[in-house]
Amino acid sequence: MGLRISWVTASTPGWRLGEQVAKDMIAVRIAPDMRMAVVGSPAYLQRAGTPQTPWDLAQHRCINLRLPTRGGLYAWEFARDGREIQVRVEGQLILNSLPQRIDAAEAGLGLAYVPDDCVAEALASGRLVRVLAEWTPAFPGYHLYYPSRRQHTSAFTLLLETLRR
């Protein structure tokens, strides 16, 4: 039995949202654009009220996201009339798991900022309510990225050809 250690480096292929791919990488789209949603339970919104603008979030309990790769808390991103803003929200919960954030919102613990396709069923059933819909932007979908200055295996080249079709 052997031990195998793999390192992720700047020369290693990976996948990220389109806007997060480094400029010196080649990117191939692997998913459609992703729209975000601010959601809360009906009970939470009845208790706390419904925010009308992103600035109203300062008066709400928000479920924060910590991205291990970014180190800090994720600022919620909004856009309207060509103006982009980032809001650092406050709240007692800081989670890094999407299912945990959705569960916490359904439990009435605050508002969550999540991909809308991940909460479509909860929205349709009424377990969650979407707020600030006119403020939530779409982000470039996931892309496979890789360095241009590297020899690729035949399997990776075949994958790239298939994705580009």
Tell me the mean pLDDT in the region 136-154: 76
In a domain, 57, yes or no: yes
- For residue 155, give its domain range: 23-31+141-164
How far, in Å, CA of 134 to CA of 33, rounded? Answer: 17
Q: Is the dihedral of CA 68, 72, 73, 79 positive or negative?
A: negative
Residue 19 has pLDDT above 70, yes or no: no
pTM summary value = 0.74
Least confidently predicted of 53-57, 63-67, 83-87, 114-118: 63-67
Q: Is the pLDDT of residue 163 over 80?
A: no
Is 3 part of a structural domain of the chain? no
Per-residue pLDDT band for 16 (boundaries 50, 70, 90) equals low
Same domain? 41 vs 117: yes
Could you tell me if 114 and 80 lie in one domain? yes
**91 Cβ contact list (under 8 Å, min separation 6):** 60, 61, 62, 63, 64, 110
Instruction: Check whether residue 155 and residue 93 sit in a common domain.
Output: no
Task: Write phi, then psi, for 64 (nearest 5 degrees).
Answer: -75, 155
Are residue 123 and residue 52 in the same domain, yes or no? yes
Do 91 and 149 belong together in one domain? no
Report the alpha-carbon distance of residue 44 to residue 92 in Å, rounded: 14
- Do 117 and 158 lie in a common domain? no
